[in-house]
Amino acid sequence: MPLPAPFRSLRLPVIAAPMFIVSGPDLVIAQVRAGIVGSFPALNARPASQLDEWLHRITAATQGCDAPFAVNLIVHRTNSRLQEDLATLEKWKVPLVITSLGANTEVNAAVHGWGGLVLHDVIDNSFARKAIEKGADGLIAVAAGAGGHAGSQSPFALMQEIRAWFDGPVALSGAIACGRSILAAQAMGADFAYIGTPWIATPEANAVEPYKQAIVDGSAADIVYSNLFTGVHGNYLRPSIAAAGMDPDNLPHGDKGQMDFGSGGSLEAKAWKDIWGSGQGIGAIRAIEPVADRVAALLAQYMSAQDELLGRIGMATRVD
């Protein structure tokens, strides 16, 4: 299936993933201006009235850019802001909406009503089927190793199962942090790499300096998968767990019922402020650098990975 129009002029096949607390207008504007899809969670704008100001600012600052921006809606039953945020997104005719923690037919219909597209994030094939049945236009396959709430399945398993029946837009996420991995995501059948963690280590991200530095200093071995902090399994930086006085290797289990976006996300925010979310891809991030520089580096790596791969495939053909 050909890609929908908003995706056809990207500089790189990359959607910058929304991150709680971390992604705001500065980050989104820099991402879109660099030629990739930028995004932020609606709940990052607080109070809810701030969402209107953010959308005004982002829309004005990205006028004429080739890449669109996206807003993430948490479609969880405890998100009391959902309807109000949806109305604000409609006012600004947000081109792309990323839904997570619940697929919802009414939300999808509302977005389609103003001409927007919905991508829904899923951690397995059964959630993927439900999302498309409920009217999402495309999928985000969140594989093992992704930052924040993450799945536990191999990206190969996820992509194989999803591509067996779905030929619409699919973004793949989980520890993608260099150009070669973007190309690998495409080779696995994804249209886009969905990248979160690497944007934390940028001046444009809303994160404290020690958090950014921990991304630069860390590697995959520093990531802990736990459901203690929000009730849903996610990946977090080991040093932040230790600094909060807990033993990262002996964490108790959380409870699914503890997730609560009821007060505009403020309870969730407490969990995320001190316990730093991060994917396993941080070994590839070795500096805090502006979004534009990171995108330029990813693009250069992506191009040389293409050459390298063509060489490899060519060699295999000659040997045969």
Ligand X SMILES: Cc1cc2nc3c(=O)[nH]c(=O)nc-3n(C[C@H](O)[C@H](O)[C@H](O)COP(=O)(O)O)c2cc1C
- 69 membership: H or E segment, kind and range: strand 69-74
The single-letter code of the amino acid at 56 is H
Least distance to ligand X, CB of residue 244, Å: 15
Closest contact distance (angstroms) between CB of 276 and ligand X is 7
* Closer Cβ to ligand X, 287 or 315, answer by number: 287
Q: How far is the CB of 184 from ligand X (least distance, A)?
A: 13
CB-nearer residue toward ligand X: 95 or 174: 174
Residues contacting residue 2 through CB under 8 Å, at least 6 positions apart: none
In a 13 Å sphere around the CA of 289, the CA atoms on its Cβ side amount to 12
Query: Shortest Cβ distance from residue 126 to ligand X (Å)?
Result: 18
d(CA 29, CA 32): 5
Query: Between residues 266 and 312, which has the closer beta carbon with respect to ligand X?
Result: 266
Show Cβ contacts of residue 1 under 8 Å, excluding neighbours closer than 6 positions.
167, 168, 169
Q: How far is the CB of 140 from ligand X (least distance, A)?
A: 7
Contacts to ligand X by CB under 6 A: 17-20, 22, 41, 72, 100, 121, 142, 146-148, 173-176, 194-197, 277-279, 281
Given a contact cutoff of 8 angstroms between Cβ atoms, the answer to whether 35 and 168 are in contact is no
Nearer CB in complex with ligand X: 95/277: 277
At 241, the amino acid letter reads I
For ligand X, the closer of residues 20 and 229 by Cβ is 20
Q: What's the first-to-final CA gap in the chain, in angstroms? A: 32
| 55 contacts: CB under 8 Å, gap ≥ 6 | 71, 88, 89, 91, 92, 94
Pick 251 or 269: Cβ nearer ligand X? 269
In the complex, minimum distance from the CB of residue 200 to ligand X, in angstroms, rounded to a whole number: 6
Q: Which two tokens stand for residue 227?
A: 């459901």
Residues contacting residue 277 through CB under 8 Å, at least 6 positions apart = 19, 20, 147, 148, 197, 234, 235, 236, 237
Closest distance between ligand X and the C-beta of residue 310, in Å?
Answer: 26
- Angle among Cα 116, 165, 163 to the nearest 5 degrees reads 80
Residue 102 vs 279, nearer CB to ligand X = 279
